[in-house]
Structure 1
């Protein structure tokens, strides 16, 4: 891997991920209880999540399961675009 490969990785909140694109979750931010609830739903670090649709409420797919997330919750999920 080139030395500057890490600079090519694009990180963004899930809300900024284009519809139809996939990203790998690299960070959950916010209060500990909120992050724990996301992990219980399957949204945890290193999982691949696809944004299917949405504004206000996002429809996403991960691990062959579709989930709906509020825009506010999705702001706390940082993904690396794939």
Structure 2
């Protein structure tokens, strides 16, 4: 596995509100986050065009991609 495959601490200014994401998942995709499950969020390095996170809940792992905060990089495709 390369260093780019290893999730790390979230970069400054690119954090996600874990409580809000957990609440959203419980409402829209409850199978992902059980009522008493706790979500941890880490970030994959690189990816200035689209930010990629590793969500871990009760031994299960999911990947979340989102557009960057602020103005979009010219080379990025529109995720919206």
TM-score, length of structure 2 as denominator length: 0.35
TM-score, length of structure 1 as denominator length: 0.35
- Larger % of helix: which? 1
Pick 1 or 2: higher relative contact order, CA cutoff 8 A, min separation 6.
1
- Larger % of strand: which? 1
